[in-house]
């Protein structure tokens, strides 16, 4: 038994293999070398300096890290960067393409961002949700946005902003 412990203790420590990935973020390809356990959130923030996507709970419970992957809303803290190789990723920095997206305009109009910490995830989630086509009323918005938490309690304003954009039909 002692020989096994000594063998383990004396074993060389090696760095894990890095994996090359191409992340297509906001219309631009980024080639990165990442360790296999690096989350998309950490790659965005730490490797690419895209800090608009927020790290809230880091457990997929608050939605502050929501981004769009191939148009679908995803908690970036729960997906690995290596799993997103070649996929289209949109962060809050890529929303609107140089001008404010209708959801961003509505958030400003209805003061739906209060402190602003959850806002990037809320906006990305709202855009993805609207594109899913399941929103018919305010109750649908509340249910489908329930994965995005707002500590300031701006939920009523967020719902109003989303409903205005939904009713106008201009969320592409």
Lookup: tokens for 99 = 């001008």
> Which pLDDT tens digit goes with each residue over 134-155?
999 999 999 999 999 999 999 9
Domain range annotation of the chain: 19-57+79-90, 102-168
Lookup: tokens for 158 = 């967020």
Query: What's the pLDDT band for 36 if we cut at 50, 70, 90?
Result: very high
Q: Considering the domain 102-168 in this protein, what is its CATH number?
A: 1.10.150.120
Lookup: tokens for 12 = 């060389």
DSSP state, 46?
Answer: I
Tell me the CATH number of domain 19-57+79-90, given options 3.90.1150.10, 3.50.50.60, 3.40.50.2000, 3.10.20.30: 3.10.20.30
């Amino acid at each position: 038994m002692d020989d096994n412990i000594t063998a383990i203790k004396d074993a060389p420590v090696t760095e894990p293999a890095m994996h090359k990935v191409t992340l297509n973020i906001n219309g631009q390809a980024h080639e990165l070398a990442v360790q296999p356990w690096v989350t998309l959130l950490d790659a965005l923030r730490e490797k690419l300096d895209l800090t608009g996507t927020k790290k809230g709970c880091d457990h997929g419970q608050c939605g502050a890290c929501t981004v769009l992957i191939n148009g679908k809303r995803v908690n970036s803290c729960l997906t690995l960067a290596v799993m997103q190789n070649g996929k289209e990723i949109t962060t809050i920095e890529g929303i609107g393409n140089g001008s404010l997206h209708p959801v961003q305009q509505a958030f400003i109009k209805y003061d739906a961002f209060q402190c602003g910490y959850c806002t990037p995830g809320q906006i990305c989630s709202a855009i993805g949700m609207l594109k899913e086509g399941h929103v018919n009323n305010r109750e649908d918005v509340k249910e489908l946005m329930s994965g995005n938490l707002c500590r300031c309690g701006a939920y009523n304003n967020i719902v109003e902003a989303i409903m205005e954009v939904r009713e106008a039909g201009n969320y592409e």
